[in-house]
Structure 1
């Protein structure tokens, strides 16, 4: 859970600026995610000012983890969140944002061999990106 260090109670409402600063996610990204994820609905007061509840902050952290660390597409992350943390229908299939061809899926299963394979693929991706930049 995010640590705010602002002296407010743990269950206090947070502004978009406070959430942005605590999680390192720009406010415009948070507003975009509100449009893309119907489950993310912070309170809005007069003038459109947003107030994030602790559950909203937890949802933002989950979205950030799925999209920016685990490589889900926005639609894939939404599907995972809707099913309570498991991809719908296919327990170990992730739609990856790096796919060059739309609809291509990468099968990911548990185990140390998979971790090594994923690490190797990430290294190849990094080398390819470097070669393109050169």
Structure 2
């Protein structure tokens, strides 16, 4: 269990888990996210993380996609909704993202780099 007491989101094809790390929290994605409408599954989880990060003064969220083999455009849209919530926050509530991508999974480098443009200065990309 993580410091926020949030359970993992587990679907037939994917798992999204929140872990504690020394710098803040880490969200790991594994499997395939290819459901037609992932919002009801993932948005509440991302909103809980977002609220807890702000309430607890966490300044660093790592998003590890290195084990996610597929993410459809609807899944990317759910991430965009989360990331764009950080930009308008007051400076004392903003937090940074580090996105970890796997260079061996073709879609990741291109699609995940695009996310860094949503919140300039708040997102770092690491391609492994």
Q: TM-score, normalised by structure 1?
A: 0.26
Considering Cα pairs closer than 8 Å and 6+ residues apart, tell me whether 1 or 2 has the greater RCO. Answer: 2
Instruction: Name the structure with the higher strand share.
Output: 2
Instruction: Name the structure with the higher helix share.
Output: 1
Rg larger in structure = 1
